[in-house]
Chain A
Amino acid sequence: MAQPIVQTIHRDPALFWWILLPITVVMVLTGILRHYAMILLQTAPKKQTLPQIRQQRSLVRGINLRTNARVLPPASFQARKAFMVSAYQEGKFLADPEARGKPRPNPMSDPAAMEGMMGMMKGNMAMMVPQTLIMGWINAFFSGFVIMKLPFPLTPQFKSMLQSGVGTRDLDVRWVSSLSWYFLTLFGLQPVYNFILGSNNSATQSTQQMAANPGAGMMGPEQDPDKLFLSEAENLEVLEYRWVLEGVEDRLVAKFA
């Protein structure tokens, strides 16, 4: 058996300057633009009334008490727990004590909920719109060029995707058109953004939206604060409490023994 003939294509060096480089530069710049667009699009958190902030923060206080319980001596922890549980159960921290037990209004009609959804929409739009635009741009200007050879073989299933616009049946799948370079840059540029924009940038994924405001996520407008308080009271009640200084003498002696 002879070696299979290696297909070679002689390409104009201008293909590099006029296709490969522009796509790469445009992809990098789009990522940077998206990062700053996300910063601009972020709506400042709305000013809340004092009782609402109190309602949110007191829930966070209960959670903090629960997570840091082990550093408190037993007496202090029991006192705090008793206070928090009774206050939660009586609904002392509720922003609007009269609404207790009433059904929640439909979240679609609540303007605050709509705003949250709009924020998510904006994030998705900032991802989708540039991607479609750039794909359209590449398809319109650069389709039909074979620009590079992949260093690894692929199965023929990729042929229709990676060689779109190149109408040759027998061409090796390793020769790919400009659209596949676009895909490579789409997935591989994250480190580049990391070095340009610093870590936790929003050039590719918008994960940092969650971390914007602690407590706001837990107490979204669609959740009943009273229910959250009651469940938090229950969590405090069932917490298995162990003081961190329990048996510290033995540990200290063991350490120096």
Chain B
Amino acid sequence: MNEERELAINPIVLTSMQHNTQVVSNIRSLTASLFGVAAGTLGMESYTGFVFYLIGTLIVSGLIFSFRAEGKASEYFHRPLGDLWGGDVVSGLSSFVLTWTLFYGLVRA
């Protein structure tokens, strides 16, 4: 009830929220593909590749946090933890695997 009252006083604009999520999702899918290219070219295999992806997304999250959100994540995201730090990590994984496999196949195997 208290949170509802808080939301009524400081409402969240749905359009802006969608726009922010869209920006994060675009950055994520682009960087995931590029990480895939890097991992494939470096010839990473199995766990190394996935760990590389996780570290990469963490760095990208940090960059979004400091440059796009200017260090004030709670002003841009309703739930900063889920929307900024963890947003679209899983959906980026499929495109990461795609480019990883492609470049691994082209360069190494």
Report A's interface with B, CB cutoff 8 A: 8, 16, 20, 70, 147-153, 181, 184-185, 187-192, 194-195, 199, 242, 244, 251
Interface-located stretch among B44-52, B57-65, B69-77, B79-87: B44-52
Interface residues of B in 12-63 (CB under 8 A from A): 22, 25-26, 29-30, 32-33, 39-40, 43-46, 49-50
**Subset of 14 A-B contacts with CB under 8 Å:** A20-B105, A147-B105, A148-B105, A149-B104, A149-B108, A149-B109, A151-B39, A191-B29, A192-B95, A194-B25, A195-B26, A195-B30, A199-B26, A244-B8
- Which one of A20, A148, A152, A242 lies within 8 Å of B45 (CB-CB)? A152
The range of chain B's interface size is 20 to 34
When A and B form their complex, what is the total count of cross-chain residue pairs whose Cβ atoms lie within 8 Å? 71
- Which one of A150, A189, A194, A251 lies within 8 Å of B26 (CB-CB)? A194
| B39–A194 touching, CB < 8 Å | no
| B44–A151 touching, CB < 8 Å | yes
- Which one of B22, B39, B102, B105 lies within 8 Å of A199 (CB-CB)? B22
Q: Give chain B residues whose Cβ lies under 8 Å from the Cβ of A150.
A: 101, 104
Q: Give chain A residues whose Cβ lies under 8 Å from the Cβ of B92.
A: 191
- Smallest distance from the beta carbon of B9 to chain A beta carbons, Å? 6
- Smallest distance from the beta carbon of B4 to chain A beta carbons, Å? 9
Q: Give chain A residues whose Cβ lies under 8 Å from the Cβ of B99.
A: 188
- Smallest distance from the beta carbon of B83 to chain A beta carbons, Å? 16
Q: Give chain A residues whose Cβ lies under 8 Å from the Cβ of B8.
A: 70, 242, 244
Q: Give chain B residues whose Cβ lies under 8 Å from the Cβ of A190.
A: 29, 91, 94-95
Report B's interface with A, CB cutoff 8 A: 5, 8-9, 22, 25-26, 29-30, 32-33, 39-40, 43-46, 49-50, 91-92, 94-95, 97-102, 104-106, 108-109
- Smallest distance from the beta carbon of A201 to chain B beta carbons, Å? 13
Q: Give chain A residues whose Cβ lies under 8 Å from the Cβ of B108.
A: 149
CB nearest neighbor in B for A188: B98
Q: Give chain B residues whose Cβ lies under 8 Å from the Cβ of A242.
A: 5, 8
Task: Compute how far the CA of A151 lies from the CA of B107 in the bound complex, rounded to whole angstroms.
Answer: 11
Task: Compute how far the CA of A7 lies from the CA of B30 in the bound complex, rounded to whole angstroms.
Answer: 33
| B29–A194 touching, CB < 8 Å | yes
The 7 closest A-B pairs by CB, nearest first: A188-B98, A191-B29, A148-B105, A149-B109, A151-B104, A152-B46, A187-B94
- Please indicate which of the listed interface residues B40, B50, B94 has the most CB atoms of chain A within 10 Å of its own CB: B94
